[in-house]
Amino acid sequence: GLYEMASILTESNDFTGRLAEFLEKLSGQLGLERLAILRIEKNAGETEDIEQNINFTILAAHNLKPSLLQQMFRSVSSRMQMQLSQATDIFAADLETQRPPTLSFEEKDGSSRELFCIPLLVEGQPSHVLLVSRRYLDEDTLQASKHYRFLYLVSQNLSMAIERENMIRQISDEQDMLFKSNQRNVFFLEISKDLTSTLDPYTILQKAFSNFNNVIGFTTIAILLFDDIENNYRLIVQPDEPVSVLYQKKLSEQIFGLFSDFPADPPLTQSNFCKPVFFKPQKHHGRPATDYKHTLHLPVVIGDKVRGLIHLTRSSDKPFSNSDLDSTSQFTGIFITSIKNALIHKRTEKLAFTDPLTELFNHRYFQETLNHEFTRAKRYTKPLSLMLIDIDFFKKFNDTYGHLVGDKVLRHVATVFRSSVREQIDTVARYGGEEFVVVLPETSLEGASRFAERIRAAVENSRVIDKNRELAITLSIGVACTSVTMCEKPSDLIEASDLALYRAKDTGRNRVKMYKESKLKNAK
């Protein structure tokens, strides 16, 4: 019988199923009523109530429901702990035939039971227990000794089986961890390759976020980062799935509040916090998530200064783990290097493409952007509109008030233009002197005209303050569009806008005129 039972424990199938089969066999072998194998766990900290100091997990049970086992356990747990403290003495060779530690137990019907409590030494510690219950029976001493010895021998086999299973599980967990680590390193290598292929900060972030989702599952990943060029903090969020407006609002407010407590340089304030940018979700199906349950965040340190925050959320019940934190830390180190390089490139690029007085893009950048957008509009058959803007009677400001006032006027209208255009879509630039241009991708002639009118009205209603003087400014604006006028090259669109600007000046200034002819030769 002992060999047959040991054979059950050494089989390679499901360990829990083997334990249940083992208990059923043991019950039949010794005529036992109820059996259970428990893993005993002591609670952290000391408590006066011994019964509250230990918990158990059922590994397997025979003819014993968890509710009844819980009742039995509460009844004998304090005495069981005392037995466990003496567990190493129980296995002495001369005690193998003696009665195991026995605890009395009373069933609901009032009948008495003996509860054998046999500690199982696993890795030298009494961390498991074999519980056996039976009626009080008068039996001869010799037969009882045989039963006791059989229980001790069985318990030793059981201890070795549990220890072996723990070892197998540990090896499996380590192999799984090694596999995940290798997979993570492969993903990080791919992320590194992708990030070195571009110097555009937005493209870097989109690629990094997309690839990192293969390493850690998240609902949103966000980066708050200080922009040295614009001198403000930008929050960029990549949802993995659709998220509601309430979700976006809560996320933005939490990140703002969280980072406000960081020793950031410079500190985050409402005035230097830009409107958050939410990329399109990587998955477009499903109902938008309305809230999140778990967060993970790490500060972004550039040089020796805290310049931002990386923040992840999960709407599922699964919390972030320490492994997720390690992966996020490694990921942050990779993409921050790329972001720093991109920001240096962007700063250098801005110096090359920015007008130093107005801090708008210069004529060179405008020409490059127009060429790019013109080609794209042709390829995808999309409208491209252009506004050409002139400050009315600008020479008067220079001649009457001096060039310093003239410079102040230029900076003033540049500020109005910058706050009016669509960020990351439109391009506003200084064309030369007192003339400015605005490139409007995928915008119709009528849409561009309405936009130009809003800019014209905004400037007219504003004032430049100089030495307690309020100086009024007006604009003349010409608008043209490729979907109305046939333009074979970018310069044709500039010419059409210029002709419309000429008409605005010729008809009284301080107005917007559209070029509506289909061909340039029909002008005048």
E strands in 303-420: 305-314, 384-391
Clarify whether 96 is annotated catalytic. Answer: no
CB atoms inside a 10 Å sphere around CB 505:
15
Tokens matching residue 28: 């039949």
Closest listed residue to residue 103, CA positions, set 121, 79, 85, 127: 79
Tokens matching residue 155: 């318990």
Residue with tokens 């504003």: 462
Tokens matching residue 308: 């931002």
Q: Is residue 57 exposed (0-12), middle (13-18) or buried (19+ Cβ within 10 Å)?
A: exposed
CB atoms inside a 10 Å sphere around CB 61:
19
Q: Is residue 199 exposed (0-12), middle (13-18) or buried (19+ Cβ within 10 Å)?
A: middle
E strands in 228-359: 232-239, 277-278, 294-302, 305-314
Residues with Cβ within 8 Å of residue 383, at least 6 apart in sequence: 377, 442, 443, 444, 445, 481, 482, 483
Which position among 21, 373, 434, 495 bears the catalytic label?
Answer: 434
Beta strand 232-239 pairing with 277-278 = parallel
Please name every residue paired with 440 in a beta bridge, in sequence order, or none if there are none: 385
Catalytic residues: 434
